[in-house]
Structures are given as C-alpha cells and as structure tokens.
C-alpha cells in the first residue's frame, strides 16, 4: 500500500505546488477586486498541506535521486510554472477587455 501512496505523492506534489504558485499570483493580481473574494486562504492552506504531506511521503523513499533534485523539480519548478501560468492567463484576459 505504501507503493501506491508513493506514486500518488509523485503526481500530487507537482500539481499542488503549481496550484500554490497559481493562487499566490492570483491573490496578488486580484487583490481588492470582486474576483478575489472567490478564492480564500482555505484553498491555499489545503494545497500547502498537500505539498507538505506529499513531501514527507517522498522523503523516506525518493522518486528522484538526489533528494534536492526531486524537490527542485516537483516543488520549485511546479510552483514557478503555476505562477507563470496565472500571470500569462491574467494578461491574456485583460487584453481582451
């Protein structure tokens, strides 16, 4: 069963990290507007908890060796990708208005 959770963590960690990056940029970009009321801290907190739990799951049995590379790829790169995706989507949506 631990093998199942291991591979779920490999998939969930970058997705949750990307969502955290997306939500942070969304919060900064939409601060003080009506659209910002739809996203609250609970979503960011839940995604952050998923990142922590998946990170702990993968710490004991790394999917990528060395361990620093695993976290660079699955957390750092995904976090930046989510932030860039939100920034690009935000700029594209304001261009059409």
Tell me: the pLDDT tens digits for 8-46? 999 999 999 999 999 998 888 777 666 655 666 888 999
Q: How many CB atoms lie within 10 A of CB 85?
A: 14
Confidence at 57, pLDDT banded by 50, 70, 90:
very high
Average pLDDT over residues 40-65: 91
Rounded to two decimals, what is the model's pTM? 0.85
Residue 20 in tokens: 């955290």
> Is 75's pLDDT higher than 80?
yes
Q: How many CB atoms lie within 10 A of CB 22?
A: 22
From the list 29, 21, 30, the residue with the least C-alpha distance to 84 is 21
In this prediction, residue 81 carries a pLDDT of 97
Residue 93 in tokens: 């949506």
Average pLDDT over residues 62-91: 93
Asked if residue 79 lies in contact with residue 72, where contact means CB atoms within 8 angstroms, the answer is no
């Amino acid at each position: 069963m631990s093998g199942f959770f291991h591979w779920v963590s490999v998939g969930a960690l970058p997705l949750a990290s990307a969502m955290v990056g997306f939500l942070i940029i969304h919060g900064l970009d939409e601060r003080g507007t009506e659209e910002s009321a739809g996203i609250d801290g609970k979503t960011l907190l839940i995604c952050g908890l998923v990142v922590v739990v998946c990170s702990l799951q993968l710490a004991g049995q790394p999917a990528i060796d060395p361990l620093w590379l695993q976290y660079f790829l699955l957390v750092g790169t995904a976090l930046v990708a989510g932030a860039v995706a939100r920034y690009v989507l935000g700029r594209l949506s304001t261009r059409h208005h």
